[in-house]
Amino acid sequence: MEEAYICDAIRTPFGRYGGALSTVRADDLAALPIKALIERNPKVDWSAIDDVIYGCANQAGEDNRNVARMAALLAGLPVDVPGSTVNRLCGSGLDALGTAARAIKTGETSLMIAGGVESMSRAPFVMGKAETAFSRSAKIEDTTIGWRFVNPAMKAMYGVDSMPETGENVAAEFAISREDQDKFALRSQMRAAAAQEARRFDDELIPASVPQKKGEPVIVGKDEHPRATSLEALAKLKGVVRPDGTVTAGNSSGVNDGSCALLLANERDAARYGLTPRARVVAMATAGIAPRIMGFGPAQAVRKVLERARLTLDQMDVIELNEAFASQALAVTRSLGLADDDARVNPNGGAIALGHPLGASGARLATTATYQLARTGGRYALCTMCIGVGQGIAVVIERV
């Protein structure tokens, strides 16, 4: 089989909900990192791209009608370069990477773009069609995150817990205290702040130019979500599910906007187009779990991918674990035998600090891990995340 190499990876800054990127359409946002790849790699024959695969969880607004294809066209790729959008909810961007890598490994493709996008600020309200003639009942659903148009059978069989409710379920089932969740959240913020101060995100970030109604465009050059806080400040926050709950806005990931793209090639095309392989995609695995504790999904996915790759957790030099909630992140790390403050886990902060634009987050994990391996000289990185409706996904990459 061929090997699939990550040759370049780039992302936009992640904006807060209603923040600096909220006026940018999802399809325009998705095009930005592809444009950057084109500019950064002038020797590539861009008509040779076999496919563009993007993850996107919503697809109900300006990201409808195959946002990967629209992003490719808006970015200036030739019209004969196809595009496909995949939806594994939070795991979409990581799934896009794994799918592209598998296509290269089989020999069916040789040059691919994978990534993801989400504009949660611009997620629309939607309304179903009337079920009877002259109906006077209408229900508006918010597509930003979570369930809508609930199937009664699904609700009866598995429940339809909101994402914060699943975080509370995990906290209760795995005895994750509020204090430990807040400590984890603070570490994420502090590590992200240190990474920004040391400019460790410079390699992976491109500035986003946001047009204004009047005057010059605003340039967004860094992640907008991180914030200064303390254990005392975090402890004062009320639970989002119930006032005495453990899951709060401070120990949960954000609702964000952003996009990310990676350029993958086999060895032959990397050499042909003057690309430098940065990391090899070793293996990907997914796993299912009860929807009510969806946050624990990475534990099963990690075990599967390590077995598939014939590697151990001790061999991982970097572990990028998406922090949907501190409760689920701690449940996963403890299940895997990792210390709460393991230096390998999210060394530059995670989604609690950096944000979680659903379809883009998995691609961001792989991008950050690729540059962290290069920076530290590590060999293997593990990227993993939980997925709504009860799944986990994990990918192993190797620095080359």
- Residue 356 falls in the annotated catalytic set: yes
* CA torsion through residues 332, 336, 338, 342, sign: negative
Residues 29 and 393: beta-carbon distance below 8 Å = no
d(C-alpha 263, C-alpha 216), whole Å: 31
Tracing tokens 């390699």 back to the chain, one arrives at 203
d(C-alpha 7, C-alpha 1), whole Å: 18
d(C-alpha 385, C-alpha 297), whole Å: 7
Q: Point out the catalytic residue in the list 7, 56, 225, 356.
A: 356
- Residue 383 falls in the annotated catalytic set: no
Question: Phi and psi of 205, rounded to 5°?
Answer: -100, 140
- Residue 225 falls in the annotated catalytic set: no
d(C-alpha 305, C-alpha 303), whole Å: 6
Question: Phi and psi of 339, rounded to 5°?
Answer: -70, 150
Residues 260 and 367: beta-carbon distance below 8 Å = yes
Tracing tokens 């010059």 back to the chain, one arrives at 216
Q: Point out the catalytic residue in the list 7, 56, 90, 383.
A: 90
Between helix 26-40 and helix 67-75 the angle, nearest 10°, is 50
d(C-alpha 4, C-alpha 114), whole Å: 12
Contacts of 165 (CB under 8 A, 6+ apart): 241, 292
Q: Active-site residue numbers?
A: 90, 356, 386
